[in-house]
Structure 1
Amino acid sequence: MATIIPRWEWRTFNNDLAEFAETITNYGRPNIRKSEEVYILSKVRDDNTKIREDLIDIKSLQAVDENKLEQWNPTLKAGFPIGKDNLTELFKVFGVVAPEFAREEYTYEQFLSEVITPNEALKVVNVKKVRYIYSVNDCIVEFAETEFNGVPWKTACVEHVDPANVIKTVQELGLVGLENINYIKAMKKTVGLV
């Protein structure tokens, strides 16, 4: 299994990114990805928990540097049907007391309707993304059009294993001065879970 080297990330959510969207096209043709995902937000914690293509993928914040760049690391991946052991671990990530599980394992639909939706400390957010992904200074640079439960947002992101390279690229792309905010915090503001 390959060693995962966590990347440092700078991200902003702002519906006035027209200048950046135009500037980034000078760096070549993007790789375009469209997806529909379900995020599960916890009132207690800010881990990144999403479901895409029947796979729960959790990333936890590992570090924040002096420039407020964030380093996220995968902590759990599980497919459906999902068993009690993985659900117990998942609720530890949520920082919420796990309910009594009535089943040995849950399908995707059962998981959302029987385990997540009844819990007042958790919220399901339906997310749509169209991501335009570029390479600038060896960084992954993304411009994306997103929706959180139907509310539109544009986002820009710069990622690399070297935080100095991230800062250099943020400056080069004219993004300095915009709020650095991750997906989870932006989502919580949008859906009123702050």
Structure 2
Amino acid sequence: MKFADNETRYEFRKFATDLTTVRDAFAARATGTAQPASRETYVVTRLNIESNVKVRGGRLQVKTLRGRLGMLEQWARPLNAEFPVPVEEVESIVLPALGLDLEIGRGGALSENALLAVVSGQHALATTRVDKRRTLYDVGNCVAEFCELRIDDDKLHTIAIEASDTDAALVLLNELGLGDAQNESYAEFLQRRLF
């Protein structure tokens, strides 16, 4: 199952030092598909936990929180653009998602380095690099993810369940014994870590 860029989805995510038991439960339900290893740069704001802004593979990606339904969070992706990104989109989508109201220029487009230079000049923002090795599983009407993370010198795991069908996501979470677990997005986790 693959989601369209503009499709809203419900997500659950958890971070820990060892989530291999959840990975094994995913693998018992579906064959995993390893994704290429990636190095991603997250732009983290201290002003909210409702946005997820990152640079991955030469693209600028923005996800914004639309709402919560119980333990699930509903996210939309208003931007998934290849660099250089038009200044207008940075001013109208990226900066507001980070809680900022800035004018950074007239027209033109920003390269990855130019965007990160704008970010570095803002006291409310920070960046962090995250190395990922992800495996995806199609489990019924859900996409499940197991990911090995390296952030600075720390090695961590994260698991996620994404679905457009909330009932399917909640059933899977309960089957995995995660029905009472705390949902924590990248935005929340990285904000807590950096600030």
Q: Deviations over 1:20-68 (max 9, x none)?
A: 2222221232111121111101111220111111111111111101x22
Partner in structure 2 of residue 155 of structure 1? 158
Partner in structure 1 of residue 56 of structure 2? 52
d(CA) in 2 for partners of 1:52, 1:3: 14
Q: Mean alpha-carbon deviation: is it higher for 2-11 or for 122-131? A: 2-11
Would the alpha carbon gap of residues 141 and 96 (structure 1) be closer, same or farther in structure 2, given more than 3 Å must change? Answer: same
RMSD of Structure 2 on Structure 1 (CA):
2.1
| Contact 1:59 1:76 (8 Å CA) reproduced | yes
d(CA) in 2 for partners of 1:133, 1:62: 24
d(CA) in 1 for partners of 2:188, 2:5: 28
Q: Mean alpha-carbon deviation: is it higher for 84-93 or for 44-53? A: 84-93
* 1:36 counterpart = 2:39: yes
SS at match of 2:126: strand
Partner in structure 2 of residue 186 of structure 1? 189
Task: Give % identity.
Answer: 24
TM norm structure 2: 0.86
* 1:7 counterpart = 2:3: no
d(CA) in 1 for partners of 2:8, 2:103: 32
d(CA) in 2 for partners of 1:102, 1:121: 23
SS at match of 2:18: coil
d(CA) in 1 for partners of 2:153, 2:172: 31
In the TM superposition, 1:39-188 aligns within 5 A as 39-46=42-49, 47-65=51-69, 67-89=70-92, 90-98=94-102, 100-101=104-105, 104-112=108-116, 114-188=117-191
Q: Deviations over 1:153-189 (max 9, x none)?
A: 2111111111111110011122233321111111112
d(CA) in 2 for partners of 1:167, 1:145: 24
Shift in Å, 1:4: 4.2
d(CA) in 2 for partners of 1:141, 1:100: 38
TM norm structure 1: 0.87
Shift in Å, 1:120: 0.9
SS at match of 2:178: coil
Q: Mean alpha-carbon deviation: is it higher for 177-186 or for 123-132? A: 177-186
Match of 2:22 among 20, 23, 27: 20
For structure 1, the residue ranges without an aligned partner over 5 or more in a row are none
d(CA) in 1 for partners of 2:5, 2:81: 19
d(CA) in 1 for partners of 2:97, 2:60: 12
Question: How many residues align structurally?
Answer: 189
